[in-house]
Amino acid sequence: MVELVDSRGTIPHMSSRQAVSRPKALPFGRAREFVRQARDLWPLTWLGAALALVASVALFSFGFKKLDLVLLVLGYGGAGLLLISTLLVVSAALGLWLWLRRASFVWRTSTFETGMELPTGFSLPSLWWLPLVQLRWSWESPDALSGEPESRGGRLRERVTLRRRGIFQSVKRRLVVQDAFGLARIAIGHRQPGPIEVLPHLGGIRRLPVLTSLTGGEEYPHPMGLEDGDRVELRRYVPGDSARFIHWKVFGRTRKLMVRVPERALSRARRTVAYLVAGAHDEAAAAAARAAIEEEALGTDWQFAADGSPEATSDRSEALHKVLISSRHSAESGSGMKRFLAEVDPRGPAALVVFAPPITGSWLDEMRSLTIRRYGRVRVVIAVDAVHDPDGQPRWRRFLLRPNAVSGVDRADLERVGRALGQLRCEVVIIDRVSGRLLGDGTHLRSPWRNAA
């Protein structure tokens, strides 16, 4: 499904070449979808088609013409096995399709977490009464890893591990009915209405004490600050001023009543503004933002926004909603920071915390323009699941052993982000989501690196 309207209800900008080429691509997409549906409904697999060809040759070329009894028996046996498997699979798929049209499923919960295998409440008959028939299914959308279903009471109960946060209006599954020999297979599509919310898994990030210590501002005089500095400024006395702030030495010299007033200064910031940058490998950063919101690590006076919804909010549930929908705006990494700061900066001094992904992207350009205009340092929190260093392994190990599939980032990419933020005078904090430990500041990373996943 292609979305032509973004979350704000506007049509995204497209070049004239893209606008012209898109209608040409639609027939090919429909053709691919038609071919896929036809392939799912065709009962014979490649192995089944090969068996049908071999059985036909054995029967008609050797069994009937040359009266080869051995090949005749083998041909009949192969054709009979293929026919029985196909009939069983077709009948089971037809019965399952008719049953799904009448069945209704209730979600066990409407809120899930990524990275955890959880039951969904979806279950199907195990088809144990049909010999040679097997049933399995997987999620097509959203992105999820289907675990081994739990068999209990003649039913298969679903357990999945979701990989991406977000709010999904429905779940699309692909159910496959096949025989034990792999000769026949039929796939059925099934859509279950939602909505479901998938939150980023917190892991070891249960507390973020580092953010509470970074909410203070710089103790420097500044005309844009609040009047909470030392009482070093003077002004004329007006009725209502406290007599204990009168500067009596000035009154003795000039015979004018002057009172001490606090200077405008950026002392301790009473507000914290936080922004979540979406992008590749941003699930751990979203988990850190979720922990900061739920554990009140941003203080008592805070405002939050994220890519896709740059409007500031102080409501906890609305902030979590922004964390969820930011996953759909990875291509607009950091595009809403300028609008967010234009809304919150006129309200007074505030400490800025940015939750960012661990790889470079367009958000670094936004950070560069932001730090040039903004007074004081920006705090950047980068969370990772695992950091792997392929160059740190011995050559013989890389040559002989197949590298493991890891779900983390390269150490070089993380150090590149840390150096870029260090040049912008940003305070960088890197957190391991699995253990909750601080790994470094991006330029001086702790070692040895081990996969946390």
pLDDT for res 378:
84
Q: Select the more confidently predicted residue: 285 or 235.
A: 285
Please, what is the average pLDDT of the chain?
A: 80
pLDDT for res 218:
44
Q: Is the pLDDT of residue 217 over 80?
A: no
Q: Is the pLDDT of residue 8 over 70?
A: no
List C-alpha distances in Å: 115 to 35, 198, 385, 406, 453.
33, 10, 11, 14, 10
As a whole number, mean pLDDT of residues 413-427 equals: 86
As a whole number, mean pLDDT of residues 183-208 equals: 89
Q: How many other β-carbons are positioned within 10 Å of the β-carbon of residue 106? A: 8
pLDDT 10s digits, 29-80 = 778 878 888 888 999 999 999 999 999 998 888 878 877 788 888 889 999 9
As a whole number, mean pLDDT of residues 208-220 equals: 53
pLDDT for res 371:
83
Which token pair is 1?
Answer: 């499904």
- Where are the domains positioned within the chain? 18-199, 209-218+268-440, 230-263
Q: Is the pLDDT of residue 16 over 70?
A: no
Smallest CA-to-CA distance from 417 within 344, 347, 364 is with 364
CA distance 189 to 177: 11
CA distance 384 to 356: 10
CB proximity list for 251: less than 8 A, separation 6 or greater: 257, 258
Residue 29, sorted as left (phi over 0), alpha (psi -120 to 50) or beta, turns out to be: alpha
Specify whether the CB–CB gap between 410 and 360 falls below 8 A.
no
Q: Select the more confidently predicted residue: 452 or 148.
A: 148
CA distance 312 to 21: 38
- The residue written with tokens 């013409």 in the block is 65
pLDDT 10s digits, 115-124 = 888 899 899 9
Q: Is the pLDDT of residue 354 over 90?
A: yes
pLDDT for res 441:
57
pLDDT 10s digits, 109-146 = 888 999 888 899 899 998 888 888 999 999 999 989 88
CA distance 287 to 200: 5
Residue type present at position 427: E
Specify whether the CB–CB gap between 358 and 233 falls below 8 A.
no
As a whole number, mean pLDDT of residues 86-100 equals: 94
Q: Is the pLDDT of residue 3 over 50?
A: no
Specify whether the CB–CB gap between 158 and 120 falls below 8 A.
yes
Specify whether the CB–CB gap between 284 and 384 falls below 8 A.
yes
This prediction's pTM: 0.73
Q: Estimate to the nearest angstrom the gap between the alpha carbon of 388 and the chain centroid.
A: 20
Length of the chain: 453
pLDDT for res 18:
39
Confidence of residue 171 (pLDDT cuts 50, 70, 90): very high
